[in-house]
């Protein structure tokens, strides 16, 4: 699978019934920006899918905006459900396989007001939405991502305070994390039941987890090595442990949860960067959180450390433990230098290829993202896209990386010609 990844709130525009809308109105986003019309993809989806087709993408990941489907509690909006049917049908007509995410960070306003995933009936409420969406769209979709990046969602909203609901509580962070594990397991079961009941055929269900590579600041510093080991365990491994062993990890109470073992068909890997870990008396820290700059390391506009080798190691680790196919559901770079984007893609594909050569079953690569879009608390300041956009006219303006990536998608490979054409210097280094 070759293509790009996106989420509803970041590209659709006019999502006014969710918690992010509220958050933006309260001036919580950088420069007091609001998502507003975003990329206006709610209206321009046909044009965007046409562009993907012309760029030889064969897969695209979207998310369903729960707050559009269930604007008020328990009332499903048929017009919006039909909208998503039209979107997916159009995608398929153009030869693009849909991967559909059910929860990508935004909550309907009414659910957020109740406490979101901390509410005692959260699982039941989310499951009702899943059952409805899958019943209505299941005949068109094979690949489902239940939850996007539980760690990012829980820590930004309940610890870092920079996403809604803007809380700071370890207890709540862990509770939301644990709840989302169950939400995934319930959704998996529901999707399988709905497919069975309606004869929808095959379904592949996974969740998308953010992975970060953690390295110690110095091999000579025992304490920074311990911090890296802690993060590698807590951030990367804890969350898929139940799917390998059927037991909850220590932080979630070591309970036996045998159904987890049967609740994943593929792992969605979102990988962007590496964190360099330091130890300080004020607690555990990593360079990502401290935003330290180490001039020797390549950084993105987000100040993330570029480290393709991390993806190679993580692909191998996840596959060794889980033994399930992996789809790279997100990988991308925010930069004003499109040459850096070409180099980033090339090196991450090289890392993926080497992992595959070592036996890892990688089924697809989805670049984040097709078009520069609304980057949550950073507003419109982080251009991840292969395509730029004029915010007044919504005109799409492909960058050179779009043509480069299109060539890769067309042949499913990176050739010397491509490297010579687009990225001679980088290519020669990695293609031997």
Instruction: Compare residues 6 and 224 and give the one whose CB is closer to ligand BGC.
Output: 6
Residue of 270, 286, 340, 401 interacting with ligand BGC (CB under 6 A): 270
Say whether residue 401 binds ligand BGC (CB under 6 A).
no
Q: Which of 210, 340, 343, 401 binds ligand BGC (CB under 6 A)?
A: 210
131 phi/psi in degrees, rounded to 5: -60, -45
CB of 70 to ligand BGC, least distance (A): 21
Q: Is 149 in the site for ligand BGC (CB under 6 A)?
A: yes
Q: Which residues pair with 284 in a beta bridge?
A: 279
Q: Is 148 in the site for ligand BGC (CB under 6 A)?
A: yes
Q: Which residues make Cβ contacts (< 8 Å) with residue 48, sequence separation at least 6?
A: 39, 41, 370, 371, 396
> Is 335 among the residues that bind ligand BGC (CB under 6 A)?
no
What does the alpha-carbon distance between residue 291 and residue 246 come to, in Å, rounded to a whole number? 37
- The conformation of residue 380, written as its DSSP 8-state character, comes to T
Confirm or reject binding of residue 368 to ligand BGC (CB under 6 A): yes
Query: Under the criterion CB under 6 A, does residue 330 sit at the interface with ligand BGC?
Result: yes
| 224 is an interface residue for ligand BGC by CB under 6 A | no
Whose CA is closest to 373, among 3, 73, 74, 4? 4
149 vs 350 by CB, closer to ligand BGC:
149
Output the smallest distance, CB 400 to ligand BGC, in A. Answer: 21
Pick left, alpha or beta for residue 407 (phi over 0 → left; psi -120 to 50 → alpha; otherwise beta): alpha
Tell me which stretch binds ligand BGC (CB under 6 A): 144-152, 178-186, 261-269, 420-428: 144-152
Backbone angles phi, psi at 300, to 5 degrees: -100, 180
For ligand BGC, the closer of residues 245 and 381 by Cβ is 381
155 makes contact with ligand BGC (CB under 6 A): no
Contact 33, 379 (CB under 8 A): yes
The distance of closest approach from Cβ of residue 256 to ligand BGC in the complex, given in angstroms and rounded to an integer, is 31
Q: How many CB atoms sit inside 10 A of residue 114's CB?
A: 16
Count other C-beta atoms under 10 Å from residue 97's C-beta: 18
Minimum separation from the CB atom of position 420 to ligand BGC (A) = 30
Beta carbon nearer to ligand BGC, 152 or 403 = 152
* Per-residue tokens: 352: 């993926």
> Cβ of residue 148: shortest distance to ligand BGC, in angstroms?
5
* Spatial contact of 21 and 15, defined as CB atoms under 8 Å apart: yes
Number of residues binding to ligand BGC, judged by CB under 6 A: 10
> DSSP alpha helices (H): ranges in 76-167?
78-93, 109-113, 122-137, 150-158
Quote the least distance from Cβ 49 to ligand BGC, whole Å. 20
CB of 207 to ligand BGC, least distance (A): 12
Shortest distance, position 212 Cβ to ligand BGC, whole Å: 10
Q: Residue from 176, 375, 385, 386 that binds ligand BGC (CB under 6 A)? A: 375
| CB nearer to ligand BGC: pick between 208 and 349 | 208
Q: Strands 362-367 and 326-330: what pairing?
A: parallel
315-to-129, 309, 382, 427 alpha-carbon distances in Å = 32, 10, 26, 22
Residue 350 binds ligand BGC (CB under 6 A): no
- Judged by CB, which is closer to ligand BGC: 187, or 210? 210
Distance, C-alpha 234 to centroid of its chain: 19
Distance CA 364, CA 361 (A): 9
Which residues of the chain form contacts with ligand BGC (CB under 6 A)?
Answer: 7, 10, 148-149, 152, 210, 270, 330, 368, 375
């Amino acid at each position: 699978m070759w293509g790009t990844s996106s989420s509803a709130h970041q590209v659709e525009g006019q999502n006014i019934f969710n918690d992010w809308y509220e958050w933006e109105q309260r001036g919580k986003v950088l420069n007091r920006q609001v998502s507003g019309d975003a990329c206006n993809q709610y209206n321009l989806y046909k044009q965007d899918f046409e562009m993907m087709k012309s760029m030889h993408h064969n897969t695209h990941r979207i998310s369903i905006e729960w707050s559009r489907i269930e604007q008020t509690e328990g009332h499903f909006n048929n017009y919006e459900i039909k909208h998503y049917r039209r979107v997916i049908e159009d995608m398929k007509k153009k030869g693009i396989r849909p991967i559909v995410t059910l929860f990508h960070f935004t909550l309907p306003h009414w659910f957020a007001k109740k406490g979101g995933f901390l509410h005692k009936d959260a699982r039941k409420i989310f499951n009702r939405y899943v059952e409805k969406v899958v019943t209505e769209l299941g005949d068109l979709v094979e690949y489902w991502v239940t939850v996007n990046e539980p760690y990012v969602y829980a820590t930004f909203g309940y610890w870092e305070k920079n996403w809604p609901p803007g809380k700071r509580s370890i207890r709540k962070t862990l509770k939301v994390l644990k709840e989302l594990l169950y939400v995934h397991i319930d959704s998996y079961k529901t999707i399988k039941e709905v497919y069975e009941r309606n004869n929808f055929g095959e379904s592949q269900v996974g969740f998308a987890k953010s992975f970060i590579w953690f390295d110690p600041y110095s091999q000579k510093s025992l304490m920074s090595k311990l911090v890296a080991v802690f993060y590698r365990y807590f951030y990367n491994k804890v969350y898929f442990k139940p799917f390998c062993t059927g037991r909850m990890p220590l932080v979630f109470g070591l309970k036996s949860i045998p159904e987890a073992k049967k609740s994943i068909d593929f792992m969605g890997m979102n990988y962007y960067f590496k964190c360099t870990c330091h130890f300080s008396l004020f607690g555990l820290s990593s360079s990502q959180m401290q935003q330290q700059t180490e001039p020797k390391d390549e950084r993105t506009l987000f100040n993330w450390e570029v480290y393709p080798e991390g993806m190679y190691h993580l692909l191998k680790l996840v596959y060794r433990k889980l033994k399930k196919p992996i789809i790279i559901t997100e990988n991308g770079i925010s930069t004003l230098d499109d040459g850096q984007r070409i180099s980033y893609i090339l090196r991450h594909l090289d890392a993926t290829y080497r992992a595959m050569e070592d036996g890892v079953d990688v089924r697809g690569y989805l670049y984040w993202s097709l078009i520069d879009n609304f980057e949550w608390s950073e507003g419109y300041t982080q251009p991840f896209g292969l395509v730029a956009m004029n915010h007044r006219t919504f005109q799409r303006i492909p960058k050179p990386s779009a043509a480069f990536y299109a060539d890769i998608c067309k042949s499913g490979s990176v050739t010397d010609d491509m490297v010579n054409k687009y990225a001679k210097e980088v290519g020669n280094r990695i293609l031997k």
